[in-house]
Structure 1
């Protein structure tokens, strides 16, 4: 059968959902996510949350092997001292109780790959709430194995299973995918928000992100859909935009990608 004159329709690349890069180290990430979800409670349903952290030598080698990298650079002592003051001011302004943690030999793969494990279990929100409360409200070292085990168990997880995540080859690979995605998205600090071609960095860009996100979600939802921040939303929570449903459902098992 002749195919002369026939044309093939090019496949359209699926639209990527809005992304939020976060980590468990940065106080700005912690406060930024709280601010986002207080203003827009639907955020976890329509935004892809991607973990981002300071990689260890094994992860750096894996990133190098695939031609990827890591844009973030460690801060100076002067900047660190400024951040100590700034976060105290900000947490007081927002009314968030805060105890500054002391990180001794932190290994950030441990809590972040445990978060990926929790996502596979469909309970990443519970894990995130438990570890951020431990770190930022009680000042605990969540990279410490005993601390993380106890925190995980307090949230209903198997503590040993969560600790084992950092040694799981598949989760390790998924973590590399997460950091490679961050590199491709030009992430250099946290929190980092992306919707379409628009990018927003920092705690003070939450409102700007929402200004771009809300119309984008409303457009995707069509004339009957809506997505409004807290305080202006209708009594019935809006439906997740139809073209995002499949992608949102995949977050529990996909391979998505510390610092502020």
Structure 2
């Protein structure tokens, strides 16, 4: 597992690299795993920020800050496509996705835990985000359960009380700031990686984001329009877009 350098400040362009992730999105999970394998510097250097759908706990902050969260329910056809697409890409990475079923999900609980953890320590916050992502998509755990969040915090070397971060007015204020950043950067889905002022959305744009981060020549267009995973052992031929 890559250890972050000075996140967001040490890439070769001299410009910050910001990585918007979501605990809800399978594409966010796949982008992390793919970057860890193919572009570890991009993942290690990036400053992590959380893209999450505000729930009941964040109602006051959303209203006061006039936040318009850019998320709409997907169609049944898109949902069925994503099930196939994620399974294909995950298989190419040697992963098997789990598909938890949530009823009336409140994403504030795990997301604000990550927001608070990143505020306290970028390295431990990153570990919490990774563990919660793996818990949801690889271990089939219910990360909306505070007990699960507390277990992830322990594994990340953090206070399990982070599971109750949603109850802290200061953390909710930080969550409001995080959502304002989402709005300011025009983030409409994940993964979204912003290098300097240039945004790159979707798993298939990872090669371009990595090149921009390292100030390298962009890859051939077929490497990112055809597939982000062209090596035979990564299941070449699949194409993934962002999914928030």
The offset of 1:79, in angstroms, is 1.2
Distance 1:95 1:69 in 2: 37
The aligned residue for residue 201 of structure 2 is 201
The aligned residue for residue 68 of structure 1 is 67
Alignment of 1:157-236 (within 5 A): 157-159=158-160, 161-215=161-215
Query: Does residue 138 of the first structure (1) align with residue 142 of the second (2)?
Result: no
Structure 1 regions of 5+ residues with no counterpart? 1-14, 217-257
Structure 2 regions of 5+ residues with no counterpart? 1-13, 217-241
Structure with greater contact order relative to length (CA < 8 Å, sep ≥ 6): 1
The offset of 1:135, in angstroms, is 0.9
Do the aligned residues in 1 keep the contact of 2:57 with 2:166 (CA within 8 Å)?
A: no
Number of residue pairs matched by the alignment: 204
Do the aligned residues in 2 keep the contact of 1:28 with 1:87 (CA within 8 Å)?
A: yes
| TM-score, normalised with respect to structure 1 | 0.71
Residue 210 to residue 172, structure 1, CA distance change in 2 (3 Å): same
| TM-score, normalised with respect to structure 2 | 0.76
The offset of 1:259, in angstroms, is 4.8
Alignment of 1:1-260 (within 5 A): 17-122=16-121, 123-159=124-160, 161-215=161-215, 259-260=243-244
Distance 1:16 1:177 in 2: 21
Do the aligned residues in 2 keep the contact of 1:25 with 1:259 (CA within 8 Å)?
A: no
Q: Give me the CA root mean square deviation.
A: 2.2
